[in-house]
Amino acid sequence: MAGFAMMLYGLLVVVAVGLAWMTARRRGPVRVGAAAALTMQAARRRAIVAIGFALVLLLAGFVVSLAVPGWLGLAAAIAPAVAGAGGLLLYAATPPPQDRETHARFSASLDRRGPWTIAPRGGLTSLGVVLVLLLGVLIFTGATSDVDDRGLYRAITFATSTHSSTATPYPGWFYAVPLMGATALLVIAAWIALRRIATTASLTGEGLQDMDRLWRVRSAQIIVGIAFATVSLQIGGVAVFAGTTMRNAQFHPGVPVAWDVLATLLLILGIVATVVSIASLTLATLRTFTLPGQLSHAHDSEMGGSVQPPAVGGRA
Amino acid sequence: MITIETSSPVPPFEQVRSQLADLIRSGQLGGGHRLPSIRQLAGDLRIAPGTVVRAYSALESDGLIEMSKTAGTRVRDGHRLDDDLQRAAAQFITAARRHGDITLSDALGAVRAAWDHSIVTARAATNR
């Protein structure tokens, strides 16, 4: 029942973000040239397939976790990071479209492209913040964890001179270490996907520099959005489990009230992070669907940073 | 931006080399500017990486760029042409354009002829 309610809340977040998006972006169709359209459509297809694959992997992780109780929920814990990494690696592995038309002229920018030059600064900063937050939460829960009856660091114990209480499952080292490894895999996958966007050959034909930069910037936003959503979901899961288990363990007198406050804060952090994760993934998905339709409305700042073409001699 | 024309009789290597050299000398690519990687430029221009390597090596031999495995390929300082010279070139182009459909090749031909004439004049003055 709780799972159904959570799915319903998640769906509400998706609908709310979708409505907000549609309200904020009432824009007409844009005509795109054949060469640009091919690249735009391929970029959109790649991103949609990557997100779909990631969602399938996430679902598979939860199913495996239910099917194999002996793994003590480890599959579900690392499912978001593995799913996100899988989706991003699939994105990177999908080859870009081949332009089969013959061209008389080919142009190239003289600005070096790399993962850091195309990725949105704000998105990267947000991703860095949630990564540090996740690491902090994992180190804290690992350091405060205790062994359960199997000797695994997945419990929390509160002991006073007269009472002692233990509760599981707590995201101690048993979950934290694989989670850190899976998160490292996710970061590497995001970097590989951004590198793929940066190293893809530019659009052929003249006057397409802005469109070329635009598809890269939009695609990088989607990639960073997927990574951000994944890390946020991990924070949400870890914080909710930590807060709930902490609360369950402190049922005897003598335990400092600070633990109760901390448990509440972790629960709030978990819920907020989960909502942010769903919203971020919804935004990334919406961006993929509108990729070809945003060309004429792109803000100048998204397309700057290239050496401008000179007026003489067909050079730039 | 640089552009190569597939139908041009000038080999792609020379098209890349000459355009980059012109951009460096005109100051549009300043000292320290990091040029794209060989793979990126070759991919964008749909030419073999070896062609870009050849162009970059020629520019390095001319002292216009420096190639490093750690810092990448960068434009070297001190190769921007004098401001007076660039102003004179701009004035020449303005004057050339007043003559209707004059091409870049025609304009360069006029410069070449004037250059040769100046050398002959200078030699004659020295011999006198």
Q: Is the ipTM of this complex over 0.85?
A: no
A313 C-beta neighbours (distance < 10 Å), count: 11
Q: Which chain A positions have a beta carbon within 8 Å of B33's beta carbon?
A: 110
The strand pairing partners of A105, in sequence order, are B5
Interface contact flag, A106 B43, Cβ < 8 Å: no
Interface contact flag, A309 B46, Cβ < 8 Å: no
Q: Which chain A positions have a beta carbon within 8 Å of B45's beta carbon?
A: 106-108
**What's the predicted TM-score (pTM) here?**
0.83
> What tokens were used for B18?
């000459």
- Cα(A5)–Cα(A82) distance, integer angstroms: 25
Q: Which chain A positions have a beta carbon within 8 Å of B35's beta carbon?
A: 110, 112
Lowest model confidence (mean pLDDT) among A113-127, A184-198, A289-303: A289-303
Amino acid at B100: G
A20 C-beta neighbours (distance < 10 Å), count: 14
Amino acid at A194: L
**What mean pLDDT, rounded, does chain A reach?**
86
Per cent of chain B over pLDDT 90 is 49
Interface of B with A in 17-76 (CB under 8 A): 19-20, 22-23, 26, 28-29, 33-37, 39-41, 43-47, 72
How do residues A173-198 score in pLDDT, each as one tens digit?
Answer: 999 999 999 999 999 999 999 999 99
Mean pLDDT of the region A141-152? 93
The position carrying tokens 């669907």 is A289
Distance (Å) from the C-alpha of residue B116 to the closest C-alpha of chain A?
23
Q: Of the candidates A112, A308, A316, which has its C-beta nearest B3's C-beta? A: A316
Structure confidence at residue A275 (pLDDT): 95
